[in-house]
Structure 1
């Protein structure tokens, strides 16, 4: 089944097309720039909250390196592991609450930073097995994880990411000059540049719209004094990965919330892969689609096991890169191999990442805002394929109401048990679980009911042709 809205002009390079190296590198760089901040932000947040600053450079390097390995596996699909598409693997924000809870559990017992990391990576390693097991029964799960549920989850992912993009456009979280006119002007300039370049009929211009927007925005920021390059000192030349560098530990209290988040992450991945299939003009039903889902979710699980082994936090398929595919018109899975190679280099050579880290937040915000909006639009397009009858509209309305409501009032659940807070503290998890439960509890209208109201043809006229 092909999406009706897809037309040949939407893609410059299809799923199995092989772009020339320069075109592939350009497309890959845009994916990396779109995901770079998302990959390194969870280690920064976790490191600051748990007092792990001495290990932070290594944690960031491993996050980038493992993201590259996972992305390469998803694109290459060895032994059926991976979706065979551009599925950029990155550190998942969904696990922040559960990982911090595990870390604080050890910290309250008087554990050292090494003990904290040993516990986190131990429970994350075994939690990844949950996703590996779920990947084997995706066909059965599809009876529950319908296009309606995946559309709701993808839309909520996009809406949640938009908050990150608009915050960066204003200057970044807790920025002293947040919302300053100079920040808004710089972010707006980058956003307008990308929109104008993306409307070009020249493939090369459209292909490099995000890179040009970021480069021009950085130059304007440097010229106006908003970008002051900082010297890079104290970084090792190479960050060599070490298996279980901090040891290995396990605790059921810490494990259960993490395992439940892996279930939610699986639902998110199914939604992301469905959106990716639509953008790449691949079937979103039938055996080949189910095979992609199985491989993609398995790839996520394997990527998370590799992450825990090499001291990186749990990974997931990044939704924002579907926005890059839509903007650039490049869906070639071979670009995923280049993305993986670039991320591995960023992880092995931390000086490269340190340079990219200096891109001003408003510049990144202007670029990511339109990409995150594209993710939400992809979710809406999936929802449009489901029949919008009274039942489905009720499920959509309730799921959005619960998800976006909790996101708007994050303190709503502060008196609930920690497990409940970890499960429902984001729009994605709360809205996704609501959609799942309502689809199970509200029966669908049987087609026989609709057929019964169609009048029979008149015997005198014979059957209708």
Structure 2
């Protein structure tokens, strides 16, 4: 990008109309990503009536976090347009924590108390790591991040396909209706719509392809009678009031370890997103100023994730797709970040937004999430394509993928390991090996550390 293509630089203050229009494009690009993890977690864990409130909190916290990144109060934040949103990377680990609480006899409030407790404490790992990123980057190499991100995408595809067939609740309670042709057809209509829209020559249509695809699917589902319209009017409150730890606070070390590992990975991932943002926004990508911007940006991610847990939503991260919006609009002004945050907060104030999204049929959501999760896996493969495929790296990848995908395909392995070892340590090992992300992530980290760098080819 040449200098002339950047219409408003980082510290420029565009007119209100231009700020609003640019902010709206960012919201369109990130909106689905902000609310989708909440819809998936809520559906899989049977959170039911809590979902609209959780969606409201996801939107509001994303708005607050985006403002923090733009305004960088007390040097918390990158001072750029770093749109914050609910992280897909934590999905499997959050679900594991929720299922652990559910297995202990917990209802929706106990499940959410467990999730918020481990996510809140885990956020301090990212806060601490933000100050040691230069050293950490020597350990968290492309082979590590590429492996973990690929496994995240592959493991989440199962969630997307489950939704495509009608959702986890239907599979568990009425399996005879799961996978009906009408539900599968609805999901494929959404998927095909997204593919067609994404191939458009119009950049704005490509940018909004997932949103438009979901709208098309929702309208068709409404005509087919697949939408439970009673859910739209079930919410009584007119305004969502943020209540700190509304569902309580709980902690379990077994649930905490997988969450902690993902915080380490997302710290490095966010530093890459912020670096790309610096390049597009015409900022230095070397020197002390750049290092401080990365540190403060990742610190902002950690602080925002802690705020998210306090106000009853899931960990946040910097969304990479919004870098494309900066490139597209030519507006890098951090003042736009405040407007993005304001729009998200305003959307979150009204719980009926969440109730409408809750009424979205699982098959419609599945048609979109298969594309989204597949994209996550491809992003990991793209990172791995930069790795030198010598004998050392190929061996690390083989063992890491073998272990990570192995426990995904044979979930009984974790239970057998836990019962054979026994005690608290057995439960800990069972928890680690119950997650493809944790198993693959720890394997690639350990092997990278102990196998050294030199190898004969």
Shared topology, TM-score over 0.5?
Answer: yes
Quote the Cα distance in structure 2 between the aligned partners of 1:140 and 1:259.
22
Choose from 143, 149, 156 the match for 1:161. 156
Which stretch of structure 1 is more off in the superposition, 187-196 or 291-300? 291-300
Match of 2:268 among 267, 270, 282: 270
When normalised by structure 1's length, the TM-score is: 0.76
- Structure 2 runs not aligned, ≥5 long: 419-425
* Larger radius of gyration between Structure 1 and Structure 2: 1
Pick the aligned partner of 2:443 from 408, 411, 434: 434
RMSD: 3.9
Cα 1:394–1:359 shift into 2, 3 Å: same
Match status 1:129 vs 2:138: no
1:103 positional shift? 7.9
Aligned positions of 1:141-290 closer than 5 A: 141-175=136-170, 176=174, 177-230=177-230, 231-245=232-246, 254-255=252-253, 257-258=255-256, 261-271=259-269, 273-274=271-272, 277=275, 286-287=286-287, 290=291
Corresponding residue of 1:21:
20
CA distance in 2, matches of 1:369, 1:90: 17
Q: Contact 1:237 / 1:350 at 8 angstroms: preserved in 2?
A: yes
TM-score, normalised to structure 2, is 0.78
Moved more, 347-356 or 177-186: 177-186
Partners of 2:290 and 2:384 lie apart in 1 by 18
SS of 1:237's equivalent in the other structure is: coil
Contact 1:145 1:436 in 2 (8 A): yes
Q: How many residues align?
A: 426
- Equivalents in 1 of 2:201, 2:6: separation in Å? 11
Residue in structure 2 matched with residue 421 of structure 1 by the alignment: 430
Q: CA deviation at 1:392?
A: 1.0
Q: Equivalent residue of 1:214, what SS?
A: helix
- Judge conservation of contact 2:118–2:255 (CA < 8 Å) in 1: no
Following the alignment from structure 1 to structure 2, what is the Cα–Cα distance between the partners of residues 54 and 435? 40
Partner of 1:364: 365
* Aligned pairs for 1:375-386 within 5 A: 375-386=376-387
The answer to whether the Cα contact below 8 Å between 1:115 and 1:246 also exists between their aligned partners in 2 is: yes
Q: State whether residues 153 and 379 of structure 1, in contact with CA within 8 Å, keep that contact through their aligned partners in structure 2.
A: yes
Distance 1:280 1:214, change over 3 A: farther
Q: State the Cα deviation string for residues 387-437 of structure 1 (Å, max 9, x = none).
A: 111111111121111111111122211141222233332222111111101
1:138 pairs with 133, 140, 156, which one? 133
Distance, in Å, in 2 between the alignment partners of 1:55 and 1:195 is 32
Give 1:89's match in structure 2, choosing from 85, 105, 112: 85
Whole-angstrom CA distance in 2 between matches of 1:140 and 1:172: 43
Unaligned runs of 5+ in 1: 1-6, 451-465
Counterpart in the other structure of 1:388: 389
1:200 alignment partner, SS class: coil
- TM-aligned CA distance change 1:43 to 1:340, over 3 Å: farther
Provide the C-alpha distance between the structure 1 equivalents of 2:390 and 2:8, rounded to a whole number of angstroms. Answer: 34
SS across alignment from 2:229 = coil
Distance (whole Å) between structure 1 residues aligned to residue 218 and residue 70 of structure 2: 31
- Whichever structure has more helix as a proportion of its residues is 2
Structure 2 counterpart SS, 1:137: helix
List per-residue Cα deviations over 1:101-121 (Å, max 9, x = no partner). 56877x79xxx9878876765
